[in-house]
Structure 1
């Protein structure tokens, strides 16, 4: 393909007008490109492909810039170009061909005298054969551009043009600039790869091209403003130009473009004149009515027009590029600007009809199973009972709390007025209030809905509503710390499930997952840890993707808390990390991570984690979360030497109907430890009464406090309440061994004491469990000074030479590796932020680098530290003294 380096006009050869009606010479001239024209090299390159195929279609909407883009390309060609702008009068074959012959003659493309002197309307049939033969005999092809080809509606013209194209061989390159597909056998050309096509998607301006266009209009706007304008106009050339012209007249161009009203001014005039007016009354009515919809299909459009002609009308509009885009499965949508113009026109032509159109759409969409769109149109139509009824009937009330639609639903139903009084509307109000922890309001609405349902006849809809009641009952039970109510809700839900369609239950796994999570949370609060685990394990692996992400994360967080209470801090940490990675808002996961950090005596990290958890709104209302925070914070304060603050924090005022045994036990243990630290040993036994009801970790810690208070025999006896079938973890086994070792040491059995301390060290080393040794007291120092025990403690609990008698153990870096580990400064920066439990995105933002750069540094740090996980990287870096 050959192109000129400079833009020149095609030569014209002046000839006298033929006999009869004269030709309009302007129709043979390339359109003038304005000063604000933007040459888009990607379109030029695509059009260059037209020189290799017989047929090219530049098919786009009105104002898409197809004529100017094609003219710009044609002006740079070395090949002869015959340009013809068509008019509606060219529908007659004679007129059309007379102008084609004249266009070819004008660019000196004819080689014979056949047809040379044809006047308008006087072209005979033999001329087409002669024309095809002349073109086929050419050494170089001629490019024939027919602009506005959509104005030709006569099928005979299409058949004749295809005849000439087929027999012209390599001598003709036909370019049709059109708003719709021409009546040509395009399937043949497409199948043979003999057609070049450019459509709206390619004609649309990119952000960079739009920026260039705006600059040519004297506008220099921020990238975000240009991007927003391109998104709103979908890159439509005329829309961009008209918007730019309007902004030129404004003192604040950026604000003008942001608040640009398409339904007023030049854009509206253009779209109404070029796309809307001149169409049949039925088509105009259809366009006006579907303008209330984001997307539509023929069936939905028929529901709005109350006719049955939408399918052919929509297909025709799409073929004609009438600013209507086809989506998948026969669904369509209007161009955003065209939709704005049509909605304004709808208000003017048919005032007051829009709410009814929304309700017709809502009813059709509900019947067809499109829930979110049903809710949106029901709300837009003002029928809140319809919208709430659709949500409840579909068993989708759980989506108010979890899933990608939760914020949308919360915003949508926030506008519900007091006139909505159906059971479904009251259930939605109750869900919204409970989700915001407005307990009194939520419970009032829930009781009213239950009363309304008790007076209604049974039906599938009533069963779904009662299932929604069970979910909200379980949530209310969780928020109020009422296990009995939660169990009643669970039993009711199990019975109701038998009467619900399986397809609905399968479509909304979040409902059952949420309900079971609430029940599991109340069981944790009640201290029934095994029963809680039984229900939460299934939720932690629930299907449903993003719909069940929050209950999955909360279930894992509760399971992590159960593991912590049973002494399995490593397992608790892994589950907590899984919880916060699933959903960062799962606050219990952060609290468990903080509690684990305290057990490992990583107090700075524990404080960071607690601060992160405190920023989550749910932490002020969920009893288990409030208690979990108090547990971790009070232990942190105690270990930091702030005993008075620790006691004040230990047992927060939780508005729960039932007291939690593990919360009470932990508070008692902490108060006793604070008393012991103050030397008030006489109060210890009184404070520790009832701790036997608590979890195993409380029992062991209480025994350790008793032993430190000089009651070793009572401490050992207290350990007898631990059952072998409780499957307790290292915190319990280590604490138990240390209490028994202390008793053995005090009775003079040093060998037994050493053996028990060795067992404790072995169990603790795997979990990096330091707190029990820090709390043990001075009796442990002499034992750790022995070489055998010092070797077990060295590298993670002790440092340097064996400490002297009475010297407390202290945390230190681990042993040096065989090969020295050196992290770059940037790798250290990244690992330091890992220690603060920052996400990859947060690290990238904090360091002002890309996420990919952070990932690269992480991979390098992992390799150097010989680890595979972020938590292991932090611990290894600490052990090596790199942080």
Structure 2
């Protein structure tokens, strides 16, 4: 099924999973991010509003509560007060949304927040889910499954929801909400209406809303607040307070604060000088408050407003004040819109209204100091190991040279972790700056953003332009710049010119290994990334022994360096090496382990797993489980759109051709071959792919009975191939040439060319194929005993690894020979019985394929059919046609049945063959 998450192979339990994949060492949030996972403490005099608590209590699992109002309505504190009550504390997870957060990082933070709850902490399914940078639709399904496994219903509060702006992120949140996870009550706290469609939930009774009208203080609550902080209001002042503020909680607090500071507690006098509401009230009152505080305290407030959260040490770095902790504590005690954060001791946050006002005043009064303050903040974060917040403040300071240094020296490996989206968001301003100021450091930052956006053309061009500018200075570029350029060149080679991968990966390795940890603190990660790509290039160059040694080492080293996805990539290419060696059970175990790992961790869309999907498709092809092989192909080809691994994509398309060949679907095979030609056009010069692609294309020509074209394809390749090589590709071509000779009715030449099956011992599936073709050639030459001997060798070689494809592919030629073999072997092996069953099924399928559909498609089925060549999922087709998803799936199954196919891709090819599309 297209887009479905691959399921584990039957009979495989995934045991023996490499330790290197069990831990994602950069998955844990950096310390500063831990502040997101706890609500703020309640300020002095806080008024509990039981009516709001009752509304929150009324929600059930699967419901969404939207708490939406402008700044100053006490949304966060109202929900925090509810969450921190004794009977709710253990079942309420808190997450404050971060600026620029990507899809993967957001859901990772959700998992971290949930795991902090005692009722969730030991839940294995949640603990294993660690989204990768390319978190996609299929991973949302895995996330929903993980959330549904929670032992009891919990509440998840997402504060500052309005800060989430990524279209992809909002789409994924909507998908989770639509699934109605019964174990999670979701509370969204936002200043504005979320940009996700929630009104359907309202119709279904699953949406509860707490808006500004509900959050506004009633006269009784306003009076209660005044009494708690020491104000006794006469009826006239109380009425004036409510009329001027309209119950706006921030306005009431500011009026009381202004009265304390300026008017000696006279609220009536404090309210005489302003009218209106919202920010106008806030600005007036804050101006009044700020004008009356000591100048040194005012400077403290202005300086610390450049950062969203502040602690005593950071405040000292910004202000030099030794009494910084006392000032922050006094602000809380005096109720000056400052709260403590419970996530980490000693951290504080100004109310958004106060911070916005302070930043405005700082911009007006001391604009020349802003860059300096951001640099100090950045340095404090970087000294604390907080790379992304440090980069954000360096960007705010406009110090692009420092930004590029931090990225090249330490932060760039984060692009392979869940923090990739945050890193790219922090660097995103470079895209605007580079247009008017293309300095090398800005170009390098922009190249990282382009990589995250999968704009590899721009990534490469920006990096090369930066390198040209650096070299023009006549001074050798610093290591941090060299490594960014080398990595960009290496990624570009994987995407556009894989033949250059070996050289470019070695360049990364050379830069990394030649640097000290002082020059490149992330040298370990860079060395592992470089070595992994060297190993992949060795696979493509058919240097399998060297490649395996590198890949086995990388599996362990990658995890130590904090790049767990690189470890997954190493295992994926090891699975391909297992396929090439013919160790199908091990290849299946390894690739299915990676598929299950992808589902468990939310990595199904990661390009690092593309080679694993290719290996899995090839295994199922060889074992003649063609429907499952097609599923793997379709899932992998969907991933190609997100990926940066062209060689793995080519191998995946080779598997697609193989499936069509075994099924003898002529039109599908031609279409798959055409896609293969287009995809492999940039891969010329890589021995493994050159041979494998040529053999696949030649076999399609043979299926079309165009023997001359098949011979031509192989002859062109043969002219450039060294006969001294006995690697997989060369032997594969030898076998394909033998097939051509058999098609040309030259069995003697084919038999002599193939030689003995022992020649192919390094590649067990080739032993099966060579022995089988040799048996066919001998049978045509009337060498009966040799034919039976070679058939027995093919069966003996195929039995331990379950390799049935070759027998099914040549079913017509071996039917009589296999009958004689069975007659001489009274007790047929399990494999022989399986082969006979498959041969009967293949013959039945071949004879039952009509030239046109015997049962015409209905109008509605034809409407659905027109969507199948697109990338639309079932849900999107359903939305377009205004029907349910189940209706679409029913029509799809009917289309498959009428067209005599079993996959979406085959349905498209058959429909085109019959001119239905």
Q: Which residue of 2 aligns with 1:324?
A: 339
The question of whether the paired residues in 2 share the 8 Å contact of 1:388 and 1:424 is answered with: yes
The question of whether the paired residues in 2 share the 8 Å contact of 1:798 and 1:810 is answered with: no
- Give the CA deviation at 1:277: 8.6
Q: Which residue of 1 aligns with 2:528?
A: 513
- Give the CA deviation at 1:456: 6.2
CA RMSD, Structure 1 to Structure 2 (Å) = 5.2
Q: Which residue of 2 aligns with 1:303?
A: 317
Asked if 1:571 is matched to 2:586, the reply is yes
Q: Which residue of 1 aligns with 2:713?
A: 687
Q: Which residue of 2 aligns with 1:53?
A: none
Asked if 1:290 is matched to 2:307, the reply is no
Q: Secondary structure at the match of 2:279?
A: coil
The question of whether the paired residues in 2 share the 8 Å contact of 1:524 and 1:562 is answered with: yes
Asked if 1:605 is matched to 2:610, the reply is no
> Highest Rg: 1 or 2?
1
Provide the C-alpha distance between the structure 2 equivalents of 1:34 and 1:679, rounded to a whole number of angstroms: 82
Query: 1:614 pairs with 637, 640, 645, which one?
Result: 637
Asked if 1:525 is matched to 2:525, the reply is no
The question of whether the paired residues in 2 share the 8 Å contact of 1:799 and 1:810 is answered with: no
Provide the C-alpha distance between the structure 2 equivalents of 1:791 and 1:208, rounded to a whole number of angstroms: 58
Q: How does 1:621-700 map to 2 (within 5 A)?
A: 622-640=645-663, 641-642=665-666, 643-652=669-678, 654=680, 656=682, 658-681=684-707, 684-689=710-715, 690=717, 694=729, 696-700=731-735
Asked if 1:735 is matched to 2:769, the reply is yes
Q: How does 1:167-182 map to 2 (within 5 A)?
A: none
For the structure 1 residues 384 and 227, does the alpha-carbon distance in structure 2 shift closer, same or farther, using more than 3 Å as the test?
Answer: farther
Q: How does 1:515-554 map to 2 (within 5 A)?
A: 515-544=530-559, 547-554=562-569
The question of whether the paired residues in 2 share the 8 Å contact of 1:510 and 1:544 is answered with: no
Provide the C-alpha distance between the structure 1 equivalents of 2:809 and 2:75, rounded to a whole number of angstroms: 80
Instruction: Name structure 1 gaps, 5 residues minimum.
Output: 1-30, 44-60, 74-200, 212-218, 248-260, 812-837, 839-845, 849-883
Provide the C-alpha distance between the structure 2 equivalents of 1:545 and 1:336, rounded to a whole number of angstroms: 41
For each residue in 1:9-45, what CA deviation from the matched residue of structure 2 results, as whole angstroms up to 9, or x when unmatched?
Answer: xxxxxxxxxxxxxxxxxxxxxx9x99975688999xx
Q: Secondary structure at the match of 2:682?
A: coil
Asked if 1:757 is matched to 2:778, the reply is no
For the structure 1 residues 229 and 757, does the alpha-carbon distance in structure 2 shift closer, same or farther, using more than 3 Å as the test?
Answer: farther
Asked if 1:425 is matched to 2:442, the reply is yes
- Give the CA deviation at 1:301: 1.3
- Give the CA deviation at 1:208: 10
Provide the C-alpha distance between the structure 1 equivalents of 2:78 and 2:646, rounded to a whole number of angstroms: 63
Residues paired across the two proteins, number = 599
Asked if 1:462 is matched to 2:478, the reply is yes
The question of whether the paired residues in 2 share the 8 Å contact of 1:292 and 1:357 is answered with: yes
The question of whether the paired residues in 2 share the 8 Å contact of 1:633 and 1:646 is answered with: yes
Query: 1:797 pairs with 820, 823, 835, which one?
Result: 835
Instruction: Name structure 2 gaps, 5 residues minimum.
Output: 1-44, 58-73, 87-156, 158-183, 190-198, 226-241, 250-275, 723-728, 847-872, 874-883, 887-917
Q: Which residue of 1 aligns with 2:401?
A: 385
- Give the CA deviation at 1:764: 2.6
Asked if 1:476 is matched to 2:492, the reply is yes
TM norm structure 1: 0.57
Q: How does 1:559-598 map to 2 (within 5 A)?
A: 559-580=574-595, 581-582=597-598, 583-584=603-604, 585-586=606-607, 587-598=610-621
Asked if 1:442 is matched to 2:459, the reply is yes
For the structure 1 residues 316 and 457, does the alpha-carbon distance in structure 2 shift closer, same or farther, using more than 3 Å as the test?
Answer: farther
Asked if 1:783 is matched to 2:798, the reply is no
For the structure 1 residues 596 and 510, does the alpha-carbon distance in structure 2 shift closer, same or farther, using more than 3 Å as the test?
Answer: same
Provide the C-alpha distance between the structure 2 equivalents of 1:681 and 1:63, rounded to a whole number of angstroms: 74
Provide the C-alpha distance between the structure 2 equivalents of 1:280 and 1:758, rounded to a whole number of angstroms: 96
Q: Secondary structure at the match of 2:490?
A: helix
Asked if 1:372 is matched to 2:372, the reply is no
Provide the C-alpha distance between the structure 2 equivalents of 1:307 and 1:293, rounded to a whole number of angstroms: 17
Q: Which residue of 1 aligns with 2:168?
A: none
Provide the C-alpha distance between the structure 2 equivalents of 1:777 and 1:209, rounded to a whole number of angstroms: 61
For each residue in 1:95-118, what CA deviation from the matched residue of structure 2 results, as whole angstroms up to 9, or x when unmatched?
Answer: xxxxxxxxxxxxxxxxxxxxxxxx
The question of whether the paired residues in 2 share the 8 Å contact of 1:566 and 1:695 is answered with: no
Q: Which residue of 1 aligns with 2:236?
A: none
Provide the C-alpha distance between the structure 2 equivalents of 1:644 and 1:38, rounded to a whole number of angstroms: 65
For the structure 1 residues 348 and 263, does the alpha-carbon distance in structure 2 shift closer, same or farther, using more than 3 Å as the test?
Answer: farther
Provide the C-alpha distance between the structure 1 equivalents of 2:584 and 2:186, rounded to a whole number of angstroms: 54
- Give the CA deviation at 1:332: 0.9
For the structure 1 residues 478 and 41, does the alpha-carbon distance in structure 2 shift closer, same or farther, using more than 3 Å as the test?
Answer: closer
Q: Which residue of 2 aligns with 1:706?
A: 741
Provide the C-alpha distance between the structure 2 equivalents of 1:285 and 1:314, rounded to a whole number of angstroms: 13
For the structure 1 residues 723 and 753, does the alpha-carbon distance in structure 2 shift closer, same or farther, using more than 3 Å as the test?
Answer: closer
For the structure 1 residues 711 and 429, does the alpha-carbon distance in structure 2 shift closer, same or farther, using more than 3 Å as the test?
Answer: farther
